[in-house]
Structure 1
Amino acid sequence: MEKVKIRRELLEYLLELARDFYPNEFAGFLREKDGIFEEVLIAPNPHFGRSSAFFDTWMLPYDESIKGTVHSHPGPNPRPSRADLNFFSKFGGVHIIIAYPFVEDSVRAYRSDGSPLRIEIVK
């Protein structure tokens, strides 16, 4: 199985964001450097609700380092919903879902088609 690499510090921050926004979802874009996700960018004027997160992708700056997305699920299911898959198909890249209870074991990564990726946490 193909893998995605993410810095431990970023993963811990994403878990904290998921906990802070609970019971609402949060979403952001992932910046990659040298094949490793290192930063999250929260889009301007987001709407984070209990069953969805919305932001206007037209408001994002042009940034070639954005290679993925991340969002939380306030329930325990880390699998992508139909709405998630629809978004994945439009945005491309890698997509990380953080499910409740927002711990390392509840994080999953997917390709745009919804097929799973292994996550490697790096220093």
Structure 2
Amino acid sequence: MKVKIRRELLEYLLEMARSFYPNEFGGFLREKNGIFEEVLIIPKGHYGKGSIFFDPYLLPHDEDIKGTVHSHPAPYTRPSKADLHFFSKFGGIHIIIAYPFEEWSIKAYRSDGREVEVEVVD
């Protein structure tokens, strides 16, 4: 399995991760025609150095949301136990961007925690 993400979105996500550092940031990914094209930054989120808290009732009902993204302010892309629990609740694809927030420091996972390949498209 492979997940596709638009280069412009990927560059924006990398910049968001850098700007939130040393805290995590998070968002929900909108997919169009099989490609992640947009991000909805978590509304009224509480962003910490090791976690993000938010009220899921503030999320809009949006059938184009097919994944999530969040950063890790450490150089580890492996999902934590809390990440895996979150993945199981929201389904779809989950992208983790690890420090130093470069294209090579990105990994994507299915809801069960299995890694999937990331393809950047222009």
Please indicate the TM-score interval, normalised by the length of the shorter structure. Answer: over 0.9
Q: Flag structure 2 segments of 5+ consecutive residues without an equivalent.
A: none
Q: Which residue of 2 aligns with 1:27?
A: 26
Q: Which residue of 1 aligns with 2:115?
A: 116
| 3-state secondary structure, aligned to 1:61 | coil
Q: Which residue of 2 aligns with 1:76?
A: 75
Shift of 1:80: 0.2
Shift of 1:56: 1.3
- Cα deviation 1:71-107 (Å, max 9, x = unaligned): 0000000000000000000000000000000000000
Shift of 1:43: 2.3
- Cα deviation 1:28-78 (Å, max 9, x = unaligned): 000000000000001221111011011111111110000000000000000
Structure 1 segments of 4 or more deviating over 4 A?
none
Tell whether 2:35 aligns with 1:36.
yes
Query: 2: distance between equivalents of 1:44 and 1:101?
Result: 25
State the TM-score, normalizing by the size of structure 1: 0.98
State the TM-score, normalizing by the size of structure 2: 0.99
Query: 2: distance between equivalents of 1:94 and 1:105?
Result: 18
Q: Aligned ranges for residues 60-99 of structure 1 at < 5 Å?
A: 60-99=59-98
Query: 1: distance between equivalents of 2:48 and 2:101?
Result: 17
* Identity across matched positions, percent: 72
Query: 2: distance between equivalents of 1:110 and 1:43?
Result: 19
Q: Flag structure 1 segments of 5+ consecutive residues without an equivalent.
A: none
Query: 1: distance between equivalents of 2:13 and 2:48?
Result: 17
Query: 2: distance between equivalents of 1:111 and 1:23?
Result: 26
